[in-house]
Amino acid sequence: MSASALQLLDKISGNISIVGSMNADYTVTTKRLPKPGETVNGGPLRILPGGKSGNQAAAAARIGANVTMFGAVGQDANADFLLGQLDDAGVDTSHVRHVEGASGTTVITVDDGGENTIVYSAGSNAKVDMDYINSEKETLLASSVLGLCLESPIETVTATAKLCHDAGIKVLLNDSPFTDELPAELIAYSDVLLVNEHEMAQLLNIAEPKDGDWLGCDWEYIARSMHEFGFEEAIVTLGGDGAIVMDSESTYHVDAAKITSKDTTGCGDSFMGTMLAGLASGFTLSEAASLASYVAAYAATSYGAQASYGTSEQIREFFENSK
């Protein structure tokens, strides 16, 4: 791990608001992912804390950011489980709403190579509405950065982005679960977009490289296309090839940390959480992305989403010992 990234781990500060989803992840490992209509044998079922927004909150809090979670859980056993796990990570969950019905869930299958398939059931996440957001407005606006993804109703996501953007709070949007039909208002009120390479290609209607060489793409052209789409600043994650950072002036490549992957579940969320922590701490986009690459790589070395996230000390020790 680079000395500069190590130093950044010691400089995490600032307040983050995250509005979105919390899910119980029902996870099974298999030798390979099943094909449509096929049954394969799996290992023991594990129930792990997840949800894209919950994951992002846990990742940011574990490396030292002050994170307040806004969202909804149900009236099932998973509700206490999810909130307890976020509390243990250091996330402020006192503003989470309790609603009737089931909490959000995902069903995840992970193969021997660390690849996964995920099916999402919104549950209580679908009940995060603007009445709730407005009731939490004072606390929400006390942060310097807002994190959003698309596991909550799009109307709530858009209105929350406007509320915070108009108040001078930087809004970081993760277009996941992916949609290429983002409302114009959401684009206008989001300061930074985070997507992976496949999502970027679909969003901008750009052909994926046939040889899989994403680094060989014309990223200057992609950056111009992203600006024309409406995002002046964006980060495109490339898995093992790192990430591309685009701001209003330049395009940068950020290397990935080299590790042996066990499970990529939640790695994108840990990247997003670290970006939020970095921006709240006053880091540049490229600094935040550089740190995020290492935090996400650490998460891939063990199973689960939140269960795989490390503290600053754990991440630092892992990469120091792997030199």
Which tens digit of pLDDT belongs to each residue from 81-132?
999 999 999 999 999 999 999 999 989 898 988 888 888 899 999 999 999 9
Residue 320 burial class via C-beta count within 10 angstroms: exposed 0-12, middle 13-18, buried 19 and up: exposed
pLDDT given at position 2: 53
Q: Give the Cα separation of 260 and 12 in Å (integer).
A: 27
pLDDT at 320: 84
Q: How far apart are CA 194 and CA 56, in angstroms?
A: 13
User: Would the pTM of this model clear 0.95, i.e. be above it?
Assistant: no
CATH of 3-22+52-103+123-321, one of 3.40.50.2000, 3.30.360.10, 3.40.1190.20, 3.20.20.70: 3.40.1190.20
The pLDDT value recorded for residue 218 is 96
Residues with Cβ within 8 Å of residue 304, at least 6 apart in sequence: 25, 27, 46, 48, 49, 50, 263, 265, 266
Residue 5 confidence class, pLDDT cut points 50, 70, 90: confident
If you search the block for the tokens 């995840």, which residue do you land on? Answer: 108
Cβ neighbours of 199 (radius 10 Å): 21
Residue 206 pLDDT > 80: yes
Q: What is the pLDDT of residue 31?
A: 95
Question: Residue 1's pLDDT band (boundaries 50, 70, 90)?
Answer: very low
pLDDT in tens, 31-68: 999 999 999 999 999 998 989 999 999 999 999 999 99
Q: Tell me: the pLDDT tens digits for 259-273?
A: 888 888 889 999 999
The residue-averaged pLDDT of 14-40 equals 95
Q: Given a cut of 70, is residue 29 above it in pLDDT?
A: yes
Triad 236, 64, 250: Cα angle to 5°: 30
Convert the pLDDT of each residue in 210-248 to its tens digit. 998 999 999 999 999 999 999 999 999 999 899 999 998
pLDDT of 77 higher than 60? yes
Q: Is 9 helix (H, G, I), strand (E, B) or coil?
A: helix
Over the stretch 130-178, which tens digit does the pLDDT of each residue have? 999 999 999 999 999 999 999 999 999 999 999 999 999 999 999 999 9
pLDDT digit string, tens, across residues 279-300: 999 999 999 999 999 999 999 9
